[in-house]
Amino acid sequence: MKLTLRVWRQQNADADGAMSTYEVDGISADMSFLEMLDTLNEELILGGEDPVAFDHDCREGICGACSLVINGDAHGPERTTTCQLHMRAFRDGDTIDVEPWRAAAFPVVKDLVVDRSAFDRIIQAGGYISAPTGAAPEAHATPVPKPDADFAFEHAECIGCGACVAACPNGSAMLFTSAKVNHLNVLPQGAPERETRVLDMVGQMDAEGFGGCTLTGECATACPKGIPLPSIAAMNKEWLRATRKAKKVGR
């Protein structure tokens, strides 16, 4: 396959970026999108140019490191992570636009790499449970109803890649935050911090400069792990409940 790539190049956080055009040849349809970029970078390095910086780690679709907006879609045209997107999704001769996540809370570090530590700070604000140290507790001591376990697991699938923020026209992190809140709030292990968790995580989300939710549904469409849009409603419900109960928790 022969492709024309238009890639966002930005020297550093303070520099102005722009799209640069590259031609790549000899691309196999079985290559992943990142392997295609590797091919481009090899050529750039051999030609003495600066290779395109992009985030990646496991390349198995489970770590959430890769983050590219391909032709205007976060993670490209298929519902998966960029690393699991293969070049068979494109046709020979295509022109492909590759851009970084765009949101005020995700500043560009270089080229296609953005700083997603805002997500880490949201997790730090409440994405934990209180557990006694020492021997592991007996696994069957705390029964969890099957529907609750399924609900928690569905939300625990979030890999924190940030595609929801990238896809949202408001740069909102509501889907990410709701996945993290719902995952723990529904479980008995998460019950002691049920109110403070949602208040603190939403508070941190706002403090990071993410936008609000206008229910466009773009986030849930882009999410490679299929976190559903009603998660946001579930978190709103938890938040409203917590504001009423907050007196009882020493916040």
Partner 1 sequence: MALATRTDRKPSLTRTVWDSTVGKKAVMAVSGLIMLTYLAVHMFGNLKIFFGAGDFNGYAHWLRTVGEPFLHYEWALWIIRVVLVAAVVAHAVSAYQLSRRDIRARPSQYVHRRPRASYATRTMRWGGVILGLFIVWHVLDLTTGTVHPGGFQSGHPYQNVIDTFSTWYGNTIYIVAMLALGLHVQHGFWSAAQTLGAGSAARDRILKTLANVLALVLTLGFISVPVAVMTGVVS
Residues that bind partner 1 (CB under 8 A): 6, 8, 19, 69, 71-73, 97, 99, 102-105, 168-172, 199, 202-203, 205-206, 209-218, 228-230, 232-241, 243, 246-247, 250-251
CB nearer to partner 1: give 66 or 165: 165
CB of 103 to partner 1, least distance (A): 6
Closest CA relative to residue 68, chosen from 104, 36, 23: 36
CB of 67 to partner 1, least distance (A): 13
CB nearer to partner 1: give 95 or 142: 95
Other beta carbons within 10 angstroms of residue 24's beta carbon come to 16
CB of 45 to partner 1, least distance (A): 25
CB nearer to partner 1: give 144 or 233: 233
Closest CA relative to residue 75, chosen from 104, 110, 99: 99
CB nearer to partner 1: give 144 or 207: 207
CB of 138 to partner 1, least distance (A): 33
CB nearer to partner 1: give 81 or 239: 239
Q: Determine contact, residues 10/108, Cβ cutoff 8 Å.
A: yes
CB nearer to partner 1: give 189 or 236: 236
CB of 149 to partner 1, least distance (A): 16
CB of 218 to partner 1, least distance (A): 6
In sequence order, what are the residues at sequence separation of 6 or more whose Cβ sits closer than 8 angstroms to the Cβ of residue 85? 32, 33, 70, 75, 76, 77, 78
DSSP assignments along 30-83, one per residue: TSBHHHHHHHHHHHHHHTTPPPPP---S-SSSSS-----EETTEET-SSSS-GG
In sequence order, what are the residues at sequence separation of 6 or more whose Cβ sits closer than 8 angstroms to the Cβ of residue 78? 85, 89
